[in-house]
Chains A and B, each alone.
Chain A
Amino acid sequence: MSDLTRLTIAEARAKLRAKEISATEITDAYLAAIDQANPLLNAYVAVTHDKARNMAKASDARIAKGEGKALEGIPLGIKDLFATEGVHTQACSHVLDGFRPRYESTVTSNLWADGAVMLGKLNMDEFAMGSSNETSYYGPVINPWRRSRVQTTVKPTFHDGSAGFIKPGGVEENRSYDNMQLVPGGSSGGSAAAVSAFLCAGATATDTGGSIRQPAAFTGTVGIKPTYGRVSRWGVVAFASSLDQAGPIARDVRDAAILLKSMASVDPKDTTSVDRPVPDYEAALGRPIKGMKVGIPKEYRVDGMPQEIEALWQQGIAWLKEAGAEIVDISLPHTKYALPAYYIVAPAEASSNLARYDGVRYGLRVPGKDIVDMYEKTRAAGFGQEVKRRIMIGTYVLSAGYYDAYYLQAQKVRTLIKKDFEDVFAAGVDVILTPATPSAAFGVADQDMAADPVKMYLNDVFTVTVNMAGLPGISVPAGLDSHGLPLGLQLIGRPFDEETLFQTAHVIEKAAGRFEANQWW
C-alpha cells in the first residue's frame, strides 16, 4: 500500500501545490487501496474509477496552469445520501434501485468546484436510519478497529555472573487482536470506516441524531455536525428535514475545518440555508482558549455509563483547564427528554418525506392488481425493517386523534430543550464538553440491540440534543478504552460558532494525540 493514502488533506494539499505529487498518483493510490480493502470492510457501495481518474487528470491540468483550488486533487468519498449526477445514489435502500440522479447536490457541487476528486459512494444505514450501519441494503460496514488485549510479561532481574553487575528486567507488552467484527457506528458508517482505514482522504456525511459524531467516535476520526442551515440540504436525500445537516468526517481537526469550508455555502435552492458568509475555519486552529468558559452539563452523567467514559470526560476537562479554560458546572434540565422527543419528530418527518417512494417516479416497482396494491407491494419490498418501523411510528403519531398527544407535545418539549441551551449560552458559556457516545464500538449483529430497538436508539443519547436545538457539535478522538478501542469527546457550540468548536477540539487533539487502527485490511 502506498504512503500517499496516509497523508492528511493538509499534507496532501501542500505536496500537490509544490508539485511533489500529482492528483493522478494520489487518486490511483486510493483506488488501489479501495480495491484491496473494500471486500473486507464494505465501506464503498460504488467505486467510480474512471470518473476519479478523469477528475484527477483535470486537477493536474489546473495545477500545472497555476489554477489549483482549495481542495485541488484531494480524493474524497461521498455518502450515498448525496445526489451525484449519473452515479449510484440510493441512500443504501432497495427502494431506490438503479437511481442515477440527473443533477448534483449543492454540497458535492461545492467540493468539485474546489477541485476535489470523487472516489465513489459510501455505505450507510438505509435512509440514514440507524446507529450501526447494519440497516443498509448493501450489508454492514466493518470497523477497521478491533478489540485487543495487552498481555504483559515481567522479565526477572538477574545477575550475569560478573561481580556486582545486575541485568535489569522489565515489562514486555504484547498486544493481541480479537477477530470479532465491530460496527463503525451509523448512519455514516461507510464514511467513518473509509476515513479511518485510509480509503479516502476525507468524506461527506450527514447527521440527523448523531450520524456524523457517533461513527466518528467509534473509528477514531473527527466529525462535525454544523449548525442547522449552515450546509445546504439541496440534493441530499431527506430523512427528517428539520434535523438533517451535512458535515465532514476527517482524520484530524484541521482536515475537518478544510472540508467544512468547502461544503458550507449560502444556497438559494435550500430555503433553510442561512444567509451568512462562510468563515475560514482553519484560521481558528491554534488560537488560545485562555479564559474560555467551558460548560459541563450534569445531566450527561447517565445511569449505567461506563467508568471509562466518565474518566475520559474528566481527562478532557483537565486538558482544557490546563490550556487556560474556565470550567463551569451547568444544567440542561430537559436532556433526558431529547431522545424520546426525537423518536416522535424524526419518524413523523420521515413518514412524510418517504411518501415519495411509490414505484412511479424512480426506483423499484413491484406490480400489483391496482395502483394501491402496487404502492403497498413496492414499499413492502423496497424498505427494510428499521425504515418501515419508523414510517409506521411517524404515520401513527401524525394520524387523526394522536397528533396533539405526540407530535405537538414533542415539538413543545423541543422548544424547552433549545431554551436550556440558550440559557446556558446567555450566562456566558462559550462551549459545552460532553462524552460523544455512551460506549465504544460494539459487535456486528449484537443480540441485545437486535432484540430491542430502543437499546440501539440510546447510542445517540449525547448527540441528539444538538440536532433538536439546531446547534453545531463536533466529535474528537480523546482516548482508547480498555480493549484499545477509540472513544470521543463532543463539543457543543453556539449557533454558527463552528470556529470555537474547531479551536477547542484542536486543543483536545493536541493533548490526546491521533489514533490509528492496527492495519489488517
Chain B
Amino acid sequence: MSVDIQTVKRVARLARIAVSEDDAARMTGELNTILGFVEQLNEVDVTGVEPMTSVTPMAMKKREDVVTDGNKAVDIVANAPATEENFFLVPKVVE
C-alpha cells in the first residue's frame, strides 16, 4: 500500500500537525519508503496466531477504590502556558 499527498494531508489533520504543501510532498515520499519497508510483514503466515496484548504475562493490578492523591491544582497548572485561577486557558471553543 502507498499513500498520496491527499492522504498525507488527511493524516496530518487527524494527528493535529499543520503541514505546508512542501511538507506534505516530502512526507509522502518518506511515508511510502517506510510503508514499503513494513510491507514484508504480509509474507508471514499468522493463521491462528493471537495478537500480542501483553509482553509479560501479568494480571492487571487492582487497588482499593479510595482517594490516595489530590488537592494539587497549583502543581497541575504550574507548567501550563496560560492559566487563570487554577484553570487552563484555551481559545474560545463555544460561540
Contacts and interface: CB of A to CB of B under 8 A. Distances in A.
Interface string B31-50: 10111011111101010011
Interface residues of B, number: 52
B17 A341 contact: no
Interface in A339-396: 340-341, 343-344, 351, 355, 358-365, 367-377, 379-380, 383, 388-389, 391-393, 395-396
A452 to B, nearest CB: 6
B41 A495 contact: no
A368 B18 CA distance: 11
Interface residues of A, number: 75
Interface stretch (A115-123, A182-190, A405-413): A405-413
Interface string B8-21: 10011111111100
Nearest to B75: A102
Contact of A377 (B18, B79, B88): B18
B30 interface: yes
A418 B55 contact: yes
B52 interface: yes
Interface string A422-450: 00000000000000000000000000000
A377 B19 CA distance: 9
Interface in B57-95: 58, 60-61, 63, 72, 75-76, 78-82, 88, 90-93
A453 interface: yes
B33 A392 contact: no
Given A410-B41, A412-B46, A379 B16 contact: yes
B60 to A, nearest CB: 7
Contacts of B14: 395, 399
A274 B58 contact: yes
Nearest to B74: A102
Contacts of B31: 389, 392-393, 396
Given A392-B31, A470-B56, 4 more contacts: A392-B8, A411-B52, A418-B52, A470-B55
Interface of B: 1, 3, 7-8, 11-19, 27, 30-31, 33-35, 37-42, 44, 46, 49-56, 58, 60-61, 63, 72, 75-76, 78-82, 88, 90-93
